[in-house]
Structure 1
Amino acid sequence: MNSNLWIEEKFEDFLGLKFKVEKVLFSGQSEFQSVDIVETKGHGKMLLNDGLVMVTERDEFAYHDMISHVPLFAHPSPKNVLVIGGGDGGTAREVLRHSSVDKCTMVEIDSMVVDACREFIPQTAKDLDHEKLTLIIGDGVEFVKSTDEKFDVIIVDSTDPIGPAQPLFGEEFYQDVYKCLSDDGIVVSQGESSWYAMDIQQSLLKVLNTVFPKSYLYSFSNLTYPGGLWSFTFATKKHHPTNDFSAERVEASGLTFDYYNAALHSASFALPNFVKKGLEGLIDND
């Protein structure tokens, strides 16, 4: 084994993040993308799609806590949840911890990601055979277009808007999402970096504002995505993400978290001034 093996994720033409690799566990090329899982020195097992870091064992809980528990605790009684993407299984894992959830449907386009994570990253994939989970290998865009089912919460756990994820950032997709949400439904989506991709945030929020009455942005920190500060969009038919949120309900749930907590739920919607300025008119501030 080459003791000097590193992988580097390059962002555009001015930034690189390097990780020391102990061992290559899996490497494949699916119909949609390259899929690699490596054992790293400082971050545990790591999933990369097309050379971009998706998940590491060390900090995956930050992303999965915040994409899942924020909408699930903002909604008063989420029973039917849809996850689009999320092939590593971490988002579904967190959704299924909520006792109110009767069913979670997960639609992931790339079976190679699911199979590789089942074998090599059970930390995130451990609940992919849960009795309340319906796992569909298919196109999430087509699923929301054709389904007659209604969901209380939809979580779009996608990669960046390139390749198979590109349609997940479009207006037609969110019109279909709106259609298959319940009357008080919430959709949360991976919302990129305010440091490096505010243009994508602006574009996504413009789309959400054409479809939903209220749209918001909230943030979290992580170790392995460019910029460290990352965001999710939150669009809702009815429920306000903080005004309708009950900290007591979090405590009463009996759940414990490595990142999320009731105070952080509300605080995550408090945005830095450069973000508020850059997204002025695109996010609700009430």
Structure 2
Amino acid sequence: MLWFTEYYKGEGMELQGTGLSMKVKSSKYLKTPYQELLLLETEDWGKVLVLDGAVQTTERDEFIYHEMISHPALFTFPRQVEKVLVIGGGDGGTVREVLKHQPKEVVMVEIDREVVEICKKEFPSISNGLGDERVKLTFGDGREFVKDKEAEFDLIIVDCSDPIGPSVVLYQEDFYRDCFKALKEDGIFVTQSESPFAQNRVHRQVVRELEKVFPIVRPYLVFIPTYPSGMWSFTIGSKKLDPLGVAPSALGKLYRELIEREGALKYYNPEVHYGAFAIPNFVYREE
């Protein structure tokens, strides 16, 4: 019997003696120019993508992460979103969800070409949007990509891994300022911001850095079984639009139109939209 265990680790991660284990049927290992990649076939979670020892995507619960990194920001817009930038997101799940809002163009910038190619082959239900004619796929450094952009995107989504290795630069104030400049006047930025329970220091750092740049900053929670502690977060930085300022009637109408057109979502709904922004007391309590 073969088991894989992700041991929680890294800068600012409070749960360093804890891990998640899963029974494995088969495995494939690959070292890319940027990271170590492990593809697992598991008993309970289907296929699992692991990068540098950390679970990134599982067939069974990927919909939670991808719906919640995308829809809260997208449903905040009172208008049609035209151009979206996704930084990271090599498995394609975020692009898949963004396309449900019918943008004119989605630009995805991923540093590791091999991750994308493997996900196209091994996770077709997640990566199927990458072949859409509206998607422009670029391989390179997302940090460098946004530096020369100005008022170009409605929405920027940073779908990156933990702040270790190539992703470190995507957690810094200078990067957030470049993203602010690259957004249109009512643009929204959203990033995954780690576990408020397992990685509280990193989470709070992301929120603090975003507050230096954006007038509206809203962290929100989601529950993902295969991520450290199960409690995960994303954070929105917005120039003008507040996700908590969306009228329930308007959100309900947009939501009904989307599911009638695209089919039912599995996690996100209007009640989840508002409830996700309720943060427990311990998260921002200084030690």
TM-score by length of 1: 0.93
Deviations 1:13-56 (A, max 9, x none): 310111111112x3211111001111100000000000100000
Of 171-180 and 199-208, more deviation after overlay is shown by 199-208
Residue of structure 1 in register with 2:63 after alignment: 61
Given that 1:198 and 1:278 are in contact with CA atoms closer than 8 Å, whether structure 2 keeps it comes out as no
Deviations 1:146-187 (A, max 9, x none): 235611111000001110000000011011000000000000
Aligned residue among 209, 214, 217 for 2:216 = 214
Given that 1:5 and 1:20 are in contact with CA atoms closer than 8 Å, whether structure 2 keeps it comes out as yes
Deviations 1:72-94 (A, max 9, x none): 00122211100000000000011
Given that 1:88 and 1:117 are in contact with CA atoms closer than 8 Å, whether structure 2 keeps it comes out as yes
Of 265-274 and 249-258, more deviation after overlay is shown by 249-258
Q: 2 CA distance for matches of 1:129 and 1:65?
A: 19
**Structure 1 runs of 4+ with >4 Å offset:** none
Given that 1:194 and 1:201 are in contact with CA atoms closer than 8 Å, whether structure 2 keeps it comes out as yes
Given that 1:247 and 1:263 are in contact with CA atoms closer than 8 Å, whether structure 2 keeps it comes out as no
Given that 2:109 and 2:137 are in contact with CA atoms closer than 8 Å, whether structure 1 keeps it comes out as yes
Residue of structure 1 in register with 2:272 after alignment: 264
Q: Aligned pair 1:28/2:30, yes or no?
A: yes
Q: 1 CA distance for matches of 2:275 and 2:281?
A: 14
Q: 1 CA distance for matches of 2:150 and 2:161?
A: 26
Give the CA RMSD over aligned residues. 1.4
Q: Structure 2: which 5+ runs fail to align?
A: 10-15
Residue of structure 2 in register with 1:96 after alignment: 99
Q: Structure 1: which 5+ runs fail to align?
A: 280-286
The secondary structure found in structure 2 opposite 1:211 is coil
Q: 2 CA distance for matches of 1:132 and 1:94?
A: 13
**One-letter amino acid of the structure 2 residue matched with residue 260 of structure 1:** Y
Q: 2 CA distance for matches of 1:275 and 1:204?
A: 13
Provide closer, same or farther for how the CA distance between residues 81 and 274 of structure 1 changes in structure 2, counting only shifts above 3 A: same
Deviations 1:211-250 (A, max 9, x none): 1111111011011001101000111000011212522211
1:126 CA drift (Å): 1.1
Q: Aligned pair 1:86/2:89, yes or no?
A: yes
Given that 1:35 and 1:112 are in contact with CA atoms closer than 8 Å, whether structure 2 keeps it comes out as no
Give the paired residue count.
Answer: 274
Q: 2 CA distance for matches of 1:76 and 1:155?
A: 18
Q: 2 CA distance for matches of 1:64 and 1:157?
A: 9
The secondary structure found in structure 2 opposite 1:266 is helix
Aligned residue among 249, 253, 267 for 1:248 = 253
Residue of structure 2 in register with 1:8 after alignment: 5
**Structure 2 matches for 1:78-157, cutoff 5 A?**
78-99=81-102, 101-148=103-150, 150-157=152-159
**One-letter amino acid of the structure 2 residue matched with residue 193 of structure 1:** S
Given that 2:151 and 2:184 are in contact with CA atoms closer than 8 Å, whether structure 1 keeps it comes out as no
Given that 1:32 and 1:110 are in contact with CA atoms closer than 8 Å, whether structure 2 keeps it comes out as yes
1:276 CA drift (Å): 4.7
TM-score by length of 2: 0.92
Given that 1:48 and 1:54 are in contact with CA atoms closer than 8 Å, whether structure 2 keeps it comes out as yes
Residue of structure 1 in register with 2:13 after alignment: none
Of 202-211 and 241-250, more deviation after overlay is shown by 241-250
Provide closer, same or farther for how the CA distance between residues 182 and 278 of structure 1 changes in structure 2, counting only shifts above 3 A: farther
Q: 2 CA distance for matches of 1:55 and 1:9?
A: 13
